[in-house]
Homo-oligomer: A and B are copies of this chain.
């Protein structure tokens, strides 16, 4: 299903056309923070995504250059999903989502604690995490 129709040339609109749904950024989150990178990993996440939806979202994320599929080093049966640079560049956005949600929603104590670390040095956290994500891709 090619989603060719650009609604407008607004950057917000273009972005939402790629990842503006309830699931895509959860996959990015898993790749970014939880280091989960196989199909089965994503299925196991707390939000219980349906397998057909997962397959569909992985495909559109790949088509839009946010993730890549490659052979998993451990097994031919596994597929390794990884963030591209375009995907890694979503990190500042993901940090802001976390900070916004922290202000308005209850979240687990450990999450709050690590977000306080992020707040102390947002730039530093982003640089460090981006560097780590880059290292793990090759």
Contacts and interface: CB of A to CB of B under 8 A. Distances in A.
Interface of A: 7-17, 20-23, 25-26, 29, 45-48, 65, 86, 89-90, 92-94, 96-108, 111, 115
B101 A92 contact: no
Could you say which of A11, A17, A102, A107 has the most chain B C-beta atoms within 10 Å of its C-beta? A11
27 contacts: A8-B46, A8-B47, A9-B106, A9-B107, A9-B108, A9-B111, A10-B26, A10-B107, A11-B97, A11-B98, A11-B100, A11-B105, A11-B115, A12-B25, A12-B94, A12-B97, A13-B46, A13-B47, A14-B105, A14-B107, A15-B100, A16-B21, A16-B23, A20-B21, A20-B25, A86-B104, A96-B96
